[in-house]
Amino acid sequence: MNFAEYAVEERLVSDAERVAFGAFSSMVSAGSAQHRGDAAIAFADILGNPGEMRQYVHGSSAERLARIDRLLKIFRENVELLVHKTWVEKSDEKRKEKLLEELAAFEREFRDGTVVPAFKRFVALARSIAHLLFGVQSRADDFLLYCFRIDPKLGLFFWYVGELEAQSREESGSGNRISEELLTLETLVGIYILSSF
C-alpha cells in the first residue's frame, strides 16, 4: 500500500483533502496543457486559498508573468522570514545561510527559465525547509505520518515534495525526459503552496 492509500484508509485526510492525491495524479498524466493546468489548480486549491492558483495558470502570457513575478517575491519573502524566525542550534546556522543562498539561486533559475535546475533546486529547498523546521525528524521514516498528524495540509505538501523527488529520480534512472511544461507547473504549484502557509 502506498502512502496516499494509507493516508486515506487511516483517515489522516478529510474527504476534501483526499481529492489532492487524484488531482496530483491527473496533473502528471494529463494529455493537454489545459487539463494539466486544471488539475494543478484543483490540487493547489486544496492546499492553498481556493481560486487563487487559477491566476498563475490561465490568462494572457503578460498577465501570468506579472502575477508569477509577484508570487515569486511573496515566496522569497515568506521563506526568508521563516529562515530568520526559526531558532536553530548554533551548528545549524550555516544551514540557514546555505538555504538563503539556494533560495536566491532558485529564484534566478526560475526567472531565467532554466526549468530542470529550478525544479531540482525547489525540491532541495523544500527538503531544507523541512530540516530547518523539524530537524532530524525530517529524515525519519515516519516523517510524513508525523506531518499529517500535525496538519494534513502540511503532510500533503511534504507528500507532494516526495512525489516530485521520486519523479526526478525516475527521470534520471529511465532516461525519459519529463516535459518542461509539467516541471514548470509543478514548481509553480510548490511555490504557491509555500507562499500560502
Cell matching residue 187: 514548481
pLDDT at residue 92 above 80? Answer: no
Residues 23-63 pLDDT 10s: 999 999 998 999 999 999 999 999 999 999 999 999 899 99
Helices in 48-92 by DSSP H: which ranges?
A: 54-57, 61-85
pLDDT at residue 169 above 90? Answer: no
pLDDT at residue 130 above 90? Answer: yes
Residues 6+ apart with CB under 8 A from 84: 96
Q: Rounded CA gap, 115 and 131, in Å?
A: 24
What is the arithmetic mean of pLDDT over 123-135?
93
Cell matching residue 115: 526549468
Residue range(s) defining the domain that contains residue 46: 3-196
Using pLDDT thresholds of 50, 70 and 90, give the confidence band for residue 175: low
What is the arithmetic mean of pLDDT over 124-144?
93
**What is the total count of domains within the chain?**
1
Angstrom CA distances, 184 to 90, 142, 145, 155, stand at 36, 29, 28, 22
Residues 107-119 pLDDT 10s: 999 999 999 999 9
Q: Which of 133-137, 143-147, 150-154 shows the lowest per-residue confidence on average (mean pLDDT)? A: 133-137
Cell matching residue 51: 481560486
Residues 60-85 pLDDT 10s: 999 999 999 999 999 999 999 988 88
Burial (CB < 10 A; 0-12, 13-18, 19+), residue 97, is exposed
Angstrom CA distances, 130 to 43, 137, 161, stand at 21, 9, 10
Cell matching residue 120: 531540482
